[in-house]
Structure 1
Amino acid sequence: MSKITSIEVSARAKAGKGAARATRRAGLVPGVIYGGKQEPTLIAIDPRIIIKGIQTSGWRSRVYEIKVGGKAERALVRDVQLHPVKDSPVHVDFMRLAPGSRVHVEVSVHFENEEACPGIKRGGVLNVVRHTIEVDVPADNIPEFFTVDLSKLDINDNVRWEDVKGTEGTTPLTHEENFVVASIAAPSVDTTEAAEEEATTEEAAS
């Protein structure tokens, strides 16, 4: 299950552009917690929390426990709007996680034992087809990440959905069955370099 990150935010009393601008002038980022068949909760959050969160791998599936007004709610980040010039956060949307519900999330894929991979040792290259996989999953059991073990893969071997670890209880949101997640590609050959080596060999023989 995804690690739960606890954060504290302030409540906002008003919605609208004017109230949002006032929040930003105070050095905070306006946001909202919605869903779960409840009324939206308007919040103001420290921008450093948002920046730290989105700069960390797997942020789209990270569960936040948001403490606001003496109440704690669990939620996922659904959208972060950034300033077009400064690239700083200007608004954030959180989606409530209602107990017993299911949600769609993107879960990152971690690759392990690359240094022990026979194909890579022979000069092959790890070709990642999917860095994240979108899945349908219970809201109370969201994976922090999926894992792929590379220790037994040789050149031209594929990693498919059935090979990925940590997928219990999840359903991939794709029409392709047992899709490819990654492969070990054969090493590319520089034809110019190969031709030069061949010419050198022929000259040495003659």
Structure 2
Amino acid sequence: MSVTLNTKLRSDGKANALRREGLVPAIVYGPSMENIPLVIERRDLHELFSRITRSSRIELSISDHEEAEMLDVFVKRVQYNPITDEPIHVDFYHPDPNTPLKLHVPIKVIGEAPGQKAGGFLNVLFDTVRVYGLSKDIPHLITLDISELEMGEGIRVRDVDFGDVTPLLSPERALVTIVAPRGMELEEEEEEEEMLETAAAEEGAPAEESEGESEEG
């Protein structure tokens, strides 16, 4: 998934003056390019943030720039006003398309597990997974469907299709699990103990009779 963001080259105007005009200063940089100062319409930035995740690839359109009309970038850093919580500066990173990079990809859980309907709780162990691969192959989201998970089951790294990128976690690491409430766990443990005691008693009864018959003979 990629989205387009329209930007302009930044003039020498001061940052506060630009912000009063509804513009947000920004910069784009990368290993194979010079830094480019930009300005973005604040409303366009709000719309962008409502549509992307931290691993979404963005097509950055730069008007009035001969050498960089369109760049594939990721959001590297966002600075916010501590009072209004409005974005006041954005860093974009343009990676080398032929060099793998490491990036955290958010996890989204969908569905309702049968184990939840039976009283269990969803335990999300990771909200992101760090992956390694080319920028064009980085997913913007990892979706985990829990609609078939019973109580005590989960989804491990090895159960997920990561496409052409490599997850930087052990294949056996659980990402989500369905866990039983503590009270239910105690009841199950007591039931198991009772079953074991009953089985032991049933197995022991014939043995005692056999021993008695042997003594009488």
Q: TM-score range by the shorter chain?
A: 0.7 to 0.9
Residue 177 of structure 1: CA displacement? 5.1
Partner of 1:111: 109
Alpha-carbon separation, structure 2, partners of 1:22 and 1:132: 37
> Is 1:100 matched with 2:98?
yes
Residue 122 of structure 1: CA displacement? 0.8
Residue 99 of structure 1: CA displacement? 1.9
Alpha-carbon separation, structure 2, partners of 1:129 and 1:63: 25
- State the secondary structure of the residue aligned to 1:13: coil
Partner of 2:157: 161
Partner of 1:32: 27
Deviations 1:142-201 (Å, cap 9, x if unpaired)?
A: 112112221331111122111123x12222335x553221110113549xxxxxxxxxxx
> Is 1:126 matched with 2:119?
no
Partner of 1:20: 15
Where does the alignment leave 5 or more consecutive residues of structure 1 unmatched? 191-206
Partner of 1:138: 134
Higher radius of gyration, 1 or 2: 2
2:141 partner amino acid: F
> Is 1:4 matched with 2:2?
yes
Alpha-carbon separation, structure 2, partners of 1:23 and 1:188: 56
Deviations 1:40-80 (Å, cap 9, x if unpaired)?
A: 11100112232233344x52111111111251111001111
Alpha-carbon separation, structure 1, partners of 2:153 and 2:29: 44
Sequence identity of aligned pairs in percent? 31
Alpha-carbon separation, structure 2, partners of 1:160 and 1:122: 21
- State the secondary structure of the residue aligned to 2:102: strand
- State the secondary structure of the residue aligned to 1:8: strand
Deviations 1:106-155 (Å, cap 9, x if unpaired)?
A: 212222332xx221121111111112212122111111211222133111
Provide the aligned C-alpha RMSD in A.
2.1
Where does the alignment leave 5 or more consecutive residues of structure 2 unmatched? 185-217
More helix by share: 2
- State the secondary structure of the residue aligned to 2:158: helix
Partner of 1:203: none
Partner of 1:195: none
TM-score by length of 2: 0.75
Alpha-carbon separation, structure 2, partners of 1:150 and 1:177: 18
> Is 1:180 matched with 2:178?
no
> Is 1:51 matched with 2:43?
no
Alpha-carbon separation, structure 1, partners of 2:73 and 2:126: 25
Contact 2:5–2:61 (8 Å) recurs in 1: yes
Alpha-carbon separation, structure 2, partners of 1:124 and 1:50: 40
Alpha-carbon separation, structure 1, partners of 2:153 and 2:121: 11
Q: How many residues align?
A: 180
